[in-house]
Amino acid sequence: MALKSPKHHAGQWRQYSAKYEGNYIAKKPSQQNSGQAPQQDPVFEFFRTVHIIEQLSRTRAESALPDEMKMAHFGVLSYLVHQGDGASPASIAEIFQVTRPSMTNTLQRLEARDYIRIAANPEDGRAKRVYLTSKGEKAFHKAREAIAPVFNDIFQALGEKVFLDSLPGLQEVANYLDKNR
């Protein structure tokens, strides 16, 4: 059954969460089931794990980024390299799920380094468009090369299969969330 909106599914979510209620909250030893492992909420555990991975990988990646670049800067450069020029600051903010002022700050920092150029929209002079500069494209590729070795130990320890096996499910969840913002 396809989910339509958070409001639409509040009842379904209450039913679902009641099945797992309290199982992810630490209980005192006297409150635990005698000898039985608590049933874990797979949705909560999934997103908790994704969050932990995001925090740990962000810290690792930012430590390797050159020229005091942050992941927010790298993300915008990556978007412009892969999606092309000409997006509005507002649309980039929406894509990254951040406020417009936050994105404005990120874009101003990138523009100060000459990684991007912000220009008036040729069709509507009041609106702005964001363009990647050649210096910005070079900075992206330099950062990408700097990040790659940071995750090599994980790849060596776990192998390629764990990543390939995990991708389809993660991509399915990401696509669903993206379509149902």
Cα–Cα dist 169/41, whole Å: 17
Half-sphere exposure of 158 (CA within 13 A, CB side): 12
pTM for this one? 0.69
> Is residue 93 domain-resident?
yes
State residue 129 phi and psi, 5-degree precision: -130, 150
Element housing 129 (H / E): strand 128-132
In a domain, 122, yes or no: yes
Tokens, residue 107: 């874009």
Residue 31 inside a domain? The answer is no
Decide if 48 is inside a domain. no
Choose among 107, 97, 99: nearest CA to 131: 107
Whether residue 9 is contained in a domain is answered as no
Residue 17's CB is within 10 A of a number of other CB atoms, namely 13
Phi, psi of 113 (to 5 degrees): -90, 5
Helices 100-112 and 89-96, interaxial angle, to 10°?
A: 110
Q: Is residue 159 part of a domain?
A: no
Look at residue 124 and tell me if it is in a domain. Answer: yes
Backbone angles phi, psi at 126, to 5 degrees: -75, -30
The domain tally of the chain equals: 1
Contact predicate 102/81, CB 8 Å: no
Residue whose token pair is 């990040």 = 147
Residue 73 lies in a domain: yes
**So what's the pLDDT on residue 38?**
61
CATH number, residue 88: 1.10.10.10
pLDDT in tens, the chain (181 residues): 344 444 444 444 444 445 555 444 444 444 455 566 667 889 999 999 999 999 999 999 999 999 899 999 999 999 999 998 899 999 999 999 999 999 999 999 999 999 999 999 888 878 899 999 999 999 999 999 999 899 999 999 999 999 999 999 999 999 999 899 8
3-state SS record for 139-151: HHHHHHHHHHHHH
Range of the domain at 98: 65-148
